[in-house]
A and B are shown apart, each in its own frame.
Chain A
Amino acid sequence: MLQSVTILQKNVSLSEVNLVLYDSREISESELVGKKFLYEEEKDHGNDIVPYFVHCVQRESRDHETRVSRTRESWTKLLLLIIRSFLVLSWLPKIALGSLHSVLVKRFDYSSSALQQLLLRITQIETLEEEVREQKRTLLSGRLLTMIVVDILTGITVACIISHYASVNDIYTYFCSWTKLLAGSVERLLQWLSGVPAGLKLNQPLTQALSAFFSYHVHLWRLYLELADPLLRSLAWVLVWLGMCGASVQVAILSDLLDLATLHLYCFYVYGARIHMLQISLLGSQWRAFRGRKWNPLKQRVDSHDKGGHVSLTRVLTAVVFTLVIFLLPTTTIYYLVFVLLRVGLNLMRGAMSLTVWLLNINPLYLVLLNLSASNRVKGDIYFSTVSAPEVNKHSVCPVAAPLVLHLHTWPTALSEVLVHAHTDDFPPKPSPDWKLIFSSIMFGENLL
């Protein structure tokens, strides 16, 4: 029963006292509470007690920290040794891979997901080393550790299962035969297009020319595959051993191999898209010119531009070009449609694989386990509960001189908040495609998918 309270040798009336009962372990062990109620030194917290209170409790617990046990120290030392040796081993490959990645991105505008994933993994291990070195058990270090361990275990399991059924040579020959099959089916597709595909009547000379052009391209691709066979065989060995680094690296390598195997389809898509864009822009400009208008790129709008009058050379030429393009449109559209559908299908597969890699990267297993075991470290929110006043006070009119009693409890934060607002250089953001851009690039062919 609280009798009196004195602050700085002055007696404080009990009716102005708020008594808050709390569990100091809950607040001191939770790092999320400190982040949510941020204490800034400069701001005046006279009227806003909660951040200052959290800051004081955590500072007090830090000062009174007990020594860590011997076994935990030796475990952290062992872990640090493993991580440091890995970092030293991977220092040279990291520079090589980094430069290769930047060259690919700048020159060929191609970001290889396997290289990205490897570089990300090395960055994560570096961050982990920093955190473990400081001897703090933060949420970040726990998450990274569980994620890397789960990843490597899954990778090794998958590699063992696959090597149980087939050796590396078998896998490579299977992959080669699959690419040859793909080339054969693309040639059959082109022959089908050059005839009467799905009953549509195409412009014969144009379709024969396009089909011959694309078939020659496929023939060159086949030749290239046969020449590059021995080099790719040795590369396969390297890739399998690289896959031991984790399941996410394996999926990333698979996605890269898919890109490499369907390179000719990408080339066809680019040719088709360029022809389609040319046709669409010609159609648009000739349609406007026939009506006496012109697109003004300076002001980004359509202006009127009627120089010759109704029966002039400009008008005749416009009509001729427009008619030509309109009659050739179905043929090229069919080719473009076929290649765009193939490209979109391959992009969907690539998207699915990058989503798998992202899921493996932001493994929420650690946080879920902590949540289930009701650990204090995941608690990020606080709430107060009041103690109900005794009945006799309810009927009195004058104010009662008694302190207000509150209980402080902590509450676990939502999983999505911790996952989403985490550190972005260690955990990549969700790959979300820009649907508007995709739609416009399919319709007009200006940007490439």
Chain B
Amino acid sequence: MLGSSSGSQLAYRNVQGDVIFVDVRLDPSLCNKRALEVCVSGGRIQFVPWLGYTSILAMMAFITQMHTIHLAWLLLAVLMQLATFVYRVRGKIVSESLLVVAGLGVQTTATFYTGKQHTRFIPWGDVIDIIIAETISMQRVLFYMALLVKRDKAVPTPKLIPLFLNTWPRLACLQHIYRACQEVLSPDFKVK
């Protein structure tokens, strides 16, 4: 759970226990506390189990002589397997990054396995604060980082936008990012 640095990347663990890498591209201490860019990447796709399952199924189909009896069903099964595989590969988020620039705004980017990027930009005037909140799901308590954003049309309650929902870093990593963010958000306030 402790962070260990290797070069410029830090290795932390995510909620499921897998290793994720945190890449700090713009440090506030190097840019006069103006900007921060953090990129959290994890979530490798594991091909080996998928290959294992496919070979077992193929052997079963060959043993039961499916290609002579029900050719259409076999083709259907193959197509469905390919379709689920393509769907899972397309929807897999490999890395998420957070860019905070004082005076401009906050931007979150999610990069997919296929290279596509999904961004969301919130202007500085709408940002209230960055917080670490906890949620209870089934049998465990999860910590997540969220952005407090002003809702339009003068509604007093702010909107909560959770960040890093696909890479799920653990508390130590979140604290590291939180400290860096607070240096940009409120540069006069000293965070312990």
Contacts and interface: CB of A to CB of B under 8 A. Distances in A.
B53 to A, nearest CB: 36
Given A16-B34, A383-B119, A411-B119, A49 B103 contact: yes
Contacts of B34: 15-16, 18, 404
A47 B30 contact: no
A386 B99 contact: yes
Contacts of A15: 31-32, 34
A386 B31 CA distance: 13
A22 interface: no
Contacts of A26: none
B149 to A, nearest CB: 13
Contact of B103 (A18, A394, A411): A18
A404 B124 contact: no
Contacts of A404: 26, 31, 34-35, 101
Contact of A384 (B32, B103, B107, B125): B107
A432 interface: no
B35 to A, nearest CB: 5
A386 B26 contact: yes
Interface string B6-43: 00100000000000000001100111101101000000
A230 interface: no
B91 interface: no
A43 B126 CA distance: 13
A47 B31 CA distance: 18
A360 interface: no
Interface size class of A (residues with CB under 8 A): 20 to 34
A393 interface: yes
A394 B31 CA distance: 11
Contacts of A400: 30-31
Contact of A393 (B30, B35, B103, B126): B30
- Interface centre among B26, B30, B34, B107, by most chain A C-beta atoms within 10 angstroms, is B30
A393 B169 CA distance: 28
Contacts of B99: 384, 386
Contacts of B101: 18, 384, 404, 406
Contact of A18 (B25, B30, B37, B104): B104
List of 5 A-B pairs having minimum Cβ-Cβ separation, nearest first: A48-B125, A383-B119, A15-B32, A50-B123, A48-B124
Given A15-B32, A48-B126, 9 more contacts: A15-B34, A49-B104, A381-B119, A383-B119, A386-B35, A394-B8, A399-B32, A406-B101, A411-B119
15 contacts: A15-B31, A48-B103, A48-B125, A49-B103, A383-B121, A384-B99, A386-B25, A386-B26, A389-B26, A394-B8, A399-B31, A400-B31, A404-B26, A404-B34, A406-B101
Interface of B: 8, 25-26, 29-32, 34-35, 37, 99, 101, 103-105, 107, 109, 119, 121, 123-126
